[in-house]
Structures are given as C-alpha cells and as structure tokens.
Structure 1
Amino acid sequence: MSTITHKDSLLELLATRLELLEIKKEEVDTTKSLFEQGILDSLSFLEFAVEIEAKFDMELDFSELDPTEFNSIEKLSKIIENGN
C-alpha cells in the first residue's frame, strides 16, 4: 500500500504543466525553486496556488511568508503540513 505525500500531490497538480514542458515528475528536483527549474513563472504560480488552496482546503497567506519559503515542492509541502 503506497502513501501519497503532499509532495506527490503537489507534483500531480503540476502534471499538465510538466507534460507541456516535457518534464517527467521524476526529473523535478523537489528541493530547488520551481521558478529556477523553468516549471513556473509568476502567472502559472498564481494558478498553482489557487489549485493548492482548493486541493488542501486552505488559504495560503503569502503576505506572511518570504518568497523563498514557497518556491519549491519541499517548502510548499511543509507549509501545507503546518497549515500555513
């Protein structure tokens, strides 16, 4: 029985974008910035944030966070685990 983690769920939310960019989920470095990896830009990040809020039934308060705190799968996963 496999356990789906927040990281897996976040990668699933990015699946369509990754497919368009011809990037496999396994190729995404979850510790590096999604922006630096060319996966997200500012507009696509906003769309991604809306999907995160809907999927995890939470509101992301970016005014309380430093931008480097939410730029990777790893960091976003921790925000979700801590309930923002």
Structure 2
Amino acid sequence: MSTIINRDSLLELLSTRLQLLEIEKGDVDTEQSLFEQGILDSLSFLEFAVEIEGKYDIELDFSELEPTEFNSIEKLSKIIENAN
C-alpha cells in the first residue's frame, strides 16, 4: 500500500472530526503534528489509533516511540507501511 493511499485513508478516518472542527481535508498539513494543528488531543488520538488498527488490521505499539515519531499523517503512514 502506498504512502499516498495511506495519507488519504488516514484523512478519511479523520473526516468526522475535521467536519466538527470545520477543517477541510486539503487544509491539513500531513507533515505537521495533528496536535499542533488542533485536530487531535490525547483522547481523540487514542480513538484514532483504534480506528487505524481496525482499518489496517495491525497492532500499533507506540511504547518504544517518542510522541514526535507518530504525531503527523506522514509519520503514521510510515508506521502503517512498516507494520504491513
């Protein structure tokens, strides 16, 4: 699965949240922290991670990663690719 597909798929998983925040998918900087952009907080990130695990049938283990290693769409895409 390519990174582009992952990015689009991840943005799709965030679509309801983006609508609530009145943010267009195209306005999301995929390389910037989702937390810094105000899209996710710690609770919504956990919900997002569960959705990612279900969609890609993977188990995400963030225990050995620094938060900056998984805080953007781009970085999450790479984690998903490595998990597959």
Which of the five TM-score ranges fits, normalised by the shorter chain? over 0.9
Cα RMSD for the two superposed structures: 1.2
Deviation at 1:64, TM superposition (A): 1.7
Aligned-pair identity (%) = 81
- The equivalences for 1:44-83 within 5 A come to 44-83=44-83
Deviation at 1:12, TM superposition (A): 0.3
For normalisation by structure 2, the TM-score amounts to: 0.93
5+ residue gaps, structure 2, are none
Deviation at 1:54, TM superposition (A): 0.3
Residue 13 of structure 1 aligns with which residue?
13
Aligned-partner SS, 2:79: helix
For normalisation by structure 1, the TM-score amounts to: 0.93
- The runs of 4+ residues in structure 1 deviating greater than 3 Å are none
Larger RCO (alpha carbons 8 Å, 6+ apart)? 2
